[in-house]
Amino acid sequence: MQAMGRPVLEVRDLHVHYKGHHAVRGVSLTVGDGERLVVMGPSGAGKSTLVKAIPRLVEPTSGTILLEGECVSCADRKTLRRLRARMGYVPQSYSLFPHLRVIDNIVLPLVRVHKLPKKAAVERAMRHLEMLGIGGLASRYPAQLSGGQRQRAALARALALDPAILLLDEPTSALDPESRSSVVDALYRIARSGRSMLIVTHEADFALQVADRLVFMEEGRIVVMAPPGEALRHERVKQFLSSILEN
């Protein structure tokens, strides 16, 4: 199962122990340039831990992680900071800093990490907020936004950093249905732009339409990794998707 294009992300035989569990057990995958890899699976399958372990927000126990050929898993602190800034990580909640206005949430890493002048950073931030339809909310604080608006702002921040890959950890799971659809729309828009993405999601429709390949995880292992059409032929994937659709 080869990823299409030049691999942006390579994960080889990754093991992660997290909060007393062997949460990820020998996961290997690649994400090609412009590829959308969607990870699905039941709760406790190790999906979120996997996404957190790629930028080493959770330290892997063993295995290799490469971003554009550079070793993330063996990087020193300074290199790791640089590599992390190339991975746009968006968690399911607490994605924005509550004490900063939306615009400042985006400008902070652009100025402090990417060393952009403030004016250029603000212009870039506004461009991405407008692209995701929330340009008018730039001066609001996160608590003044709906959940969906918050997640779109977090996506705008991740995109403003021009990452090599977006790592999205269930970006819609903490949202009400209306907010969820606004975020899914934004995800469709980002997916169409050709950005490499690794997305953990329970959004079955989105997964099947957007994924170049679908990864199904269970008990820390990859059970299926295939294009959606092929993955759907696996009994366990079918069972899981129908249980999601029933709910």
Partner 1 sequence: MYDANTESIVSIVGAYSGLLARGVGMTLVLTLLGFTAGFAIALLLTVTRYMAPRPARILAQAYIDLFRGTPMLVQLLFIFFALPSLGVQLSAFQSAAVALGLNSGAYQAEILRVAIKGLPEEELHVAESLGLTGWQTMRHVVLPQAVRASLPGLTNEAVMLLKDSSLASVIGVMELTRAGEYMVSTSFKALQSLGIVALVYLVLSAIFYKAFRAVERRTAIPGFQNL
Contact footprint for partner 1 (CB under 8 A) = 52, 55, 57, 81-82, 84-85, 87, 89, 91, 93-95, 97-99, 108-109, 112-113, 140-144, 157, 161
Phi-psi category of 170—alpha, beta or left, where left has phi over 0 and alpha has psi -120 to 50? left
Please give the Cα distance from 51 to 166 (Å, whole number). 10
Q: Quick one: how far is CA 155 from the chain centroid? A: 9
Q: Of all helices (H) and strands (E), which one includes residue 45?
A: none
CB-wise, 39 or 87, nearer to partner 1? 87
Determine the Cα–Cα distance for residues 148 and 145; give it in Å rounded to an integer: 8
Closest to partner 1 by CB, 57 vs 126, is 57
Q: Which residue, 38 or 51, is less far from partner 1 as judged by CB?
A: 51
CB of 238 to partner 1, least distance (A): 32
CB of 144 to partner 1, least distance (A): 4
Q: Which of 112/233 has CB closer to partner 1? A: 112
**d(C-alpha 16, C-alpha 48), whole Å:** 11
To which residue do tokens 């652009």 refer?
A: 110
Tell the smallest beta-carbon distance from residue 141 to partner 1 (Å). 5
Nearest-approach distance from CB 45 to partner 1, in angstroms? 19
d(CA 44, CA 70): 30
Q: Which is nearer to partner 1, 46 or 91 (CB)?
A: 91
Q: What are phi and psi for residue 134, nearest 5 degrees?
A: -130, 30
Structure tokens at 189: 């828009």
- Angle at CA of residue 121, ends 130 and 95, nearest 5°: 65
Kindly report the number of other CB atoms within 10 A of residue 115's CB atom: 8
Cα–Cα dist 16/56, whole Å: 10
Nearer to partner 1 by C-beta: 79 or 193? Answer: 79
User: Quick check: 129 and 156 in contact, CB under 8 A?
Assistant: yes
Q: In terms of CB distance, is 7 or 142 closer to partner 1?
A: 142
